[in-house]
């Protein structure tokens, strides 16, 4: 049986492993290890926070090891999950279909989304868990003509209690993440290599022959008849460039900025994140308790249960890059102006919730949805395979998105991964 190496176990990698195992002998190589949810009591963390020990965002790994922090050249904080399931384990679990830009290229993923609907639970039955301020915010957005929509969630609603810990690791197994696909692949025979970071793909005579991965100081070669890179929008481009394959300087990151206010008794920290979404042309707005800002931003000095926050997630300009030395990414003037527009809308919502300017403060600018450095074009609409790649090397993550989504990408990445799996089978 031919061997496939899949790099990464997030949305793209786990999907490919599940789809290909049995037709191929699949090995998944993951840079991290088992996912462990955040179990610390927030009241205890608050006491530690008051000592000033949390002075740098990178220290989040001390309390939540699977969350890794990097920084772009301009200081923007970059967030990702490292471990089985990748960033799906620390996501808000949104099931938003965002394939409009792909459709514009002539890519129809209806069949793949239909498959997903049979495999991943999607529900909007969580309004009963909303707290009063969120109910009010939803009605305010409706009255402002913002057309709020209850967010579809990848959850088993009968298990969900709306505890607010989706991004810290669901304690009840209510939220779907890609470990479910990974486990299906493992039960069928997939091999899983953990704590191994793939450095490059070995290419000989125009074909990928395997990958080199490091585990500590040791390096090992894993041979393969086919390689699928799903190391994420920051990881896959670096591997490609280390392998002699040039990517485009079109990195997007979907920047996030939260606009918050002190609000006694809001308890948003114990509520399902992003319960509803307002879609604007270039960004979305959604209620979201920003734990990163709470831990490390000095403006967020109120008790966690007394802060109410609205997230702006921006579809940023495709202009930036990543290589082995770091990330170069800054906001364009247009991005900055659109963020300002989002901040003003959030302020209007908070004003109607009874807040004044003196009670409103901003969060830390951060980002966690990178991609776009090997974007699909009309030329690849049928093959999902760039001509710069060897025929037996595929990419299966947000690196392929032609434009920033400014929206949760997981569902669309899974759909693309399903299509790519079919292309792998055709190639074989």
Q: Is 41 helix (H, G, I), strand (E, B) or coil?
A: coil
* Residue 382 CB burial class (10 angstroms; 0-12, 13-18, ≥19): exposed
- pLDDT digits over 193-247, tens only? 999 999 999 999 999 999 999 998 999 999 999 999 999 999 999 999 999 999 9
**Kindly report the CA angle at 252 between 248 and 256, in degrees rounded to 5?**
170
H or E element in which residue 357 lies? none
How sure is the predictor about 53, in pLDDT bands with cuts at 50, 70 and 90?
low
> Residue range 307-326: average pLDDT?
95
> Residue range 284-288: average pLDDT?
98
Query: 195: left (phi > 0), else alpha (psi -120 to 50), else beta?
Result: left
* % of the chain residues with pLDDT over 90: 83
The first and second tokens of residue 50, run together, are: 């008051």
**Percentages of the chain per state (helix, strand, coil), in multiples of 5:** 35, 25, 45
> Residue range 108-132: average pLDDT?
96
Any residues with CB less than 8 A from the CB of 19 and at least 6 apart, and which? 417, 418, 421, 422
- pLDDT digits over 142-182, tens only? 999 999 999 999 999 899 988 999 998 899 999 999 999 99
User: What dihedral angle (degrees, nearest 10) is formed by the CA atoms of 28, 31, 36, 41?
Assistant: -160
d(CA 102, CA 177): 23
The DSSP symbol for 336 reads H
Query: What domains appear along the chain, each with residue ranges and CATH number?
Result: 3-34+176-248+372-427 (3.50.50.60), 42-82+121-175+255-367 (3.30.560)
3-state secondary structure 61-121: HHHCCCEEEEEECCCCEEEEECCCCHHHHHCCCECCCCCHHHHHCCCCCHHHHHHHHHHCC
- pLDDT digits over 356-392, tens only? 999 999 999 999 999 999 999 999 999 999 999 999 9
The first and second tokens of residue 399, run together, are: 């690196």
- Residue 308 CA, distance from chain mean position: 23
d(CA 366, CA 376): 26
| Cβ–Cβ < 8 Å for 359, 302 | no
| Cβ–Cβ < 8 Å for 236, 269 | no
* Length of the chain measured in residues: 428
Instruction: Give the end-to-end CA distance of the chain in Å, rounded to a whole number.
Output: 11
The first and second tokens of residue 261, run together, are: 């206010």
d(CA 90, CA 142): 29
d(CA 399, CA 321): 11
- pLDDT digits over 331-360, tens only? 999 999 999 999 999 999 999 999 999 999
- Residue 325 CA, distance from chain mean position: 22
Distances (CA, A) of 327 to 57, 71, 189, 238, 249: 16, 7, 36, 10, 11
H or E element in which residue 143 lies? helix 132-143
d(CA 63, CA 53): 12
Question: Which of 119, 373, 98 minimizes the C-alpha distance to 232?
Answer: 373
Any residues with CB less than 8 A from the CB of 204 and at least 6 apart, and which? none
Q: Is 300 helix (H, G, I), strand (E, B) or coil?
A: coil
- Beta bridge partners, 95, equal none
| Cβ–Cβ < 8 Å for 137, 287 | yes
Is 57's pLDDT higher than 70? no
- Residue 418 CA, distance from chain mean position: 18
Kindly report the backbone phi and psi dihedral angles of residue 420, in degrees, each rounded to the nearest multiple of 5, phi listed first. -65, -35
User: What is the sign, positive or negative, of the torsion defined by CA atoms of 157, 33, 328, 16?
Assistant: negative
> Residue range 114-123: average pLDDT?
97
pLDDT, position 62: 64
């Amino acid at each position: 049986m031919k061997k496939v190496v899949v790099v990464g176990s997030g949305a793209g990698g786990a999907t490919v492993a599940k789809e290909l195992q049995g037709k191929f002998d699949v090995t998944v190589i993951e840079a991290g290890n088992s996912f462990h949810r955040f179990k610390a009591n927030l009241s205890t963390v608050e006491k530690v926070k008051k000592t000033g020990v949390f002075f740098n965002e990178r220290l989040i790994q001390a309390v939540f090891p699977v969350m890794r922090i990097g920084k772009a050249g301009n200081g923007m904080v970059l967030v990702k999950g490292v471990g089985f399931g990748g960033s799906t384990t620390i996501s808000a679990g949104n099931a938003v279909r965002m394939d409009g830009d792909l459709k514009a290229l002539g890519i129809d993923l209806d069949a793949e989304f239909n498959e997903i609907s049979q495999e991943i639970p999607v529900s909007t039955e969580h309004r009963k868990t909303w707290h009063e301020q969120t109910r009010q915010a939803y009605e305010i957005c409706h009255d402002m003509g913002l057309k709020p929509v209850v967010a579809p969630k990848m959850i088993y609603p009968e298990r969900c209690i709306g505890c607010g810990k989706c991004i810290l690791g669901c304690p009840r197994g209510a939220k779907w993440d890609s470990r479910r696909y990974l486990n299906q692949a493992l039960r069928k025979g997939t091999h899983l290599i953990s704590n191994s970071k793939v450095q490059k793909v070995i290419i000989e005579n125009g074909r990928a022959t395997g990958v080199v991965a490091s585990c500590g100081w040791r390096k090992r070669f894993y041979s393969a008849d086919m390689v699928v890179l799903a190391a994420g929008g920051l990881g896959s481009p670096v591997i490609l460039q280390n392998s002699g394959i040039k990517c485009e300087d079109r990195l997007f990151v979907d920047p996030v900025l939260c606009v918050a206010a002190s609000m006694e008794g809001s308890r948003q920290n114990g509520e399902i994140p992003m319960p509803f979404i307002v879609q604007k042309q270039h960004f979305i707005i959604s209620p979201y308790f920003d734990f990163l800002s709470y831990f490390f931003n000095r403006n967020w000095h109120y008790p966690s249960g007394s802060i109410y926050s609205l997230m702006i997630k921006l579809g940023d300009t495709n202009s930036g890059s990543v290589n082995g030395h770091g990330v170069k990414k800054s906001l364009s003037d247009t991005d900055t102006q659109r963020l300002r527009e989002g901040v003003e809308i959030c302020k209007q919502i908070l004003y109607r919730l009874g807040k004044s300017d003196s009670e409103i403060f901003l969060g830390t600018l951060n980002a966690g949805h990178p991609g776009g450095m090997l974007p699909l074009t009309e030329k690849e609409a049928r093959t999902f395979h760039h001509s710069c790649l060897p025929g037996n090397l595929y990419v299966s993550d947000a690196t392929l998105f032609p434009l920033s989504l400014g929206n949760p990408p997981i569902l669309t990445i899974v759909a693309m991964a399903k299509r790519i799996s079919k292309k792998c089978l055709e190639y074989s």
